[in-house]
Structure 1
Amino acid sequence: MADTDGNTVKRLALWGIPLAFGVMGLKLIAWWVTGSVALLSDGLESSVNVVAAIVAFAAITYAAKPADKTHPFGHHKAEYLSAVLEGVLIVVAALLIVMEAVPAVMAPASMEAPVMGLVINFAAGVINAVWAYVLIRAGRRYRSPALAADGQHILSDVVTSIGVLIGLVLAIATGYAVLDPLLAILVALNILYQGWKVIAHSVDGLMDHAVEPGEAEAIQAAIAANGAGSLGVHDLKTRRAGSATFVDFHLVVPAAMPVGQAHDICDRLEDAIRAVQPGAQIAIHVEPETEKAHGVRVRIERVGS
């Protein structure tokens, strides 16, 4: 990740903290004026957003640290740890909601000032929707798992808010107060599902997942078009760690090729790969044609073929 991209990601993560506090405040005010358990559940989820925003900023800041002696490949995976923690916090929020909602099902109570509470909660939902869009878009653009996870969590909060608003309107219109805590329990189930998705995606990233198929094809095409002078490539592997992409492979050259000429081919291939995968960290093992080939192979395009 370029320095300018890293600064943008950190700036967005930092802005997420005061925004999370503001949205949580609005939702808790909506609960305070109404006494609605569903609005309380929405506010509890937003309290998790506050913790998640702080954790995401800390993880992104740490992940941006350059490689050192004890972490020669960098600190990129710190973002995945942040996303895992966020998923756990989402699950905790869901359990807190259930603890509040179950007693209310047994003894439902009518809401006070419902219209004002719904308007305040709607305003908080609009803010969340805009911010979720910004974070998800930036997370994909800058390949930041922490930003993307934070955006997905906030988006689930938006869906929750919409469901709460619709459900409370129905509760007010029908007069069935029990719909309020029942809706809170449904919100909790949705939050549990979203938390599971965040955790599963982050754990997958910690397991050194390969790049997406389209990216792999672009890397192979770049190698095929720029490996003139070599005899082929095999054992091509890729992995993604946070915003960083790692590519390594074996480059087969004629046994009599001078080291300097093989090095020139490697330089050309590295430039071509970084053109399709900016900032990629590349390791190329040069070997003579007499070695056995393994793994994914790439045929080099011949000039004039």
Structure 2
Amino acid sequence: MNSFKKVKQVLMLILILNVMVALAKLLYGMYIKSASMVADGYHSLSDSSGNIVGLVGIYLASKPEDEEHPYGHKKFETFSSIFISIMLFVVSYNVLKEAYSRFLNPVVPKITLDSFIIMIVTLLINIFVFTYEYRQGVKLKSDILVSDSLHTKSDIYVSVSVLITLIALKVGIPTYIDPIMSVVISIFIIKAGIEIIKHSSDILCDRVVVDSKKIHDIAVSVKGVLSCHQIRSRGREDDINIDLHIMVDPSENIIDAHDIASQLEERLKKEIPGVTEVIVHIEPYNKNEIEE
């Protein structure tokens, strides 16, 4: 529960910074009539919306286990990440739509020193946000923070693209460069959305999270475990579930066999950070069955 509180605090700070960045880009982009800066502003605004979705997801994920959710509610955080990616695709559509309109009706933006200052300052803020949020996401093993940081990372590339556009327009390159860069921006947004969906779907589809060989080596190192097979792992880095079959001496009584399984469970939780549940199926050792 304490980790959820820390994630919430990080999201609140990032939300405030993202709103400031988005408003700066949007308002000034509209003032100088820069399609790429406005597109970048909407992208930053979607960052803010993502933070709000993340806060809702964290609230739901922090709920304790109940009768209908005996494994807890942590996957609500993962669902929130997918929702953020959907929002990104909607934003990319709007950016492409605006870029197409600018191709048909070109508008020359007003390039001033202020526009460069705003883009550089907001770029520095985005770099800080990405670095801070990603490190906290890894530290707290938070799905939503890591996913949201990927969103912010794409915003950094987008801001760099806008700066290139402003410089190009200032030196006299045709106005079509502005909508062209808007298209580039939309590609970055789509890429970020795809990365988030891939990361989240790996969790929801129970992709392997721990190398089976590592689990095997730990298992056979426990006294009394003669063999180990049918190893599986799933979940998130902060909520790993492992199940496996072990073979013990057929002469072992049920109490000793249970103790062996308990020792293995404790060893896996100690040596693999994030393991919350281990299910061990005990079988009598059969050399012929192993060779088959």
Cα displacement string for residues 15-36 of structure 1 (whole angstroms, at most 9, x for unaligned residues): 2222221221121133133210
State the alpha-carbon separation in 2 of the partners of residues 276 and 266 from structure 1: 15
Aligned residue for 1:8?
6
Aligned residue for 2:284?
288
SS in 2 for 1:111: coil
State the alpha-carbon separation in 2 of the partners of residues 202 and 21 from structure 1: 25
Aligned residue for 1:298?
none
Aligned residue for 2:263?
268
Shift of 1:290: 5.3
Q: Given the alignment of the two structures, is residue 123 of structure 1 paired with residue 121 of structure 2, yes or no?
A: yes
Shift of 1:288: 2.3
Question: Do 2:208 and 2:233's aligned partners in 1 also have CA atoms closer than 8 Å?
Answer: yes
Q: Which runs of 5+ in 1 are unaligned?
A: 295-305
Among 229, 232, 240, the alignment partner of 1:237 is 232
SS in 2 for 1:174: coil
Cα displacement string for residues 94-126 of structure 1 (whole angstroms, at most 9, x for unaligned residues): 111112121212222222253212211221111
Q: Given the alignment of the two structures, is residue 218 of structure 1 paired with residue 218 of structure 2, yes or no?
A: no
User: Letter of the aligned partner of 2:83 in structure 1?
Assistant: L
Question: Do 1:83 and 1:149's aligned partners in 2 also have CA atoms closer than 8 Å?
Answer: yes
Aligned residue for 2:185?
187
State the alpha-carbon separation in 1 of the partners of residues 119 and 3 from structure 2: 34
Shift of 1:212: 4.5
Q: Given the alignment of the two structures, is residue 31 of structure 1 paired with residue 29 of structure 2, yes or no?
A: yes
Which stretch of the first structure deviates more once superposed, 41-50 or 167-176?
167-176
Question: Do 2:203 and 2:234's aligned partners in 1 also have CA atoms closer than 8 Å?
Answer: no
SS in 1 for 2:171: helix
Among 71, 74, 79, the alignment partner of 1:76 is 74
Question: Do 2:157 and 2:188's aligned partners in 1 also have CA atoms closer than 8 Å?
Answer: no
Aligned residue for 1:148?
146
Question: Do 2:220 and 2:226's aligned partners in 1 also have CA atoms closer than 8 Å?
Answer: no
Tell me: CA distance 1:177–1:133, structure 2 relative to 1, closer, same or farther (3 Å).
Answer: same
Question: Do 1:90 and 1:191's aligned partners in 2 also have CA atoms closer than 8 Å?
Answer: yes
Aligned residue for 2:253?
258
Among 134, 137, 142, the alignment partner of 2:135 is 137
Shift of 1:55: 0.8
Among 268, 273, 276, the alignment partner of 1:278 is 273
Cα displacement string for residues 185-242 of structure 1 (whole angstroms, at most 9, x for unaligned residues): 22112222222222222222210111143xx4433332222x2123222211111246
Question: Do 2:206 and 2:235's aligned partners in 1 also have CA atoms closer than 8 Å?
Answer: yes
Which structure has more RCO (C-alpha within 8 Å, separation ≥ 6)?
Answer: 1
State the alpha-carbon separation in 2 of the partners of residues 270 and 84 from structure 1: 32
Q: Which runs of 5+ in 2 are unaligned?
A: none
Tell me: CA distance 1:221–1:273, structure 2 relative to 1, closer, same or farther (3 Å).
Answer: same
Which stretch of the first structure deviates more once superposed, 137-146 or 284-293?
284-293
Question: Do 2:219 and 2:264's aligned partners in 1 also have CA atoms closer than 8 Å?
Answer: yes
Percent identical: 26
Tell me: CA distance 1:47–1:197, structure 2 relative to 1, closer, same or farther (3 Å).
Answer: same
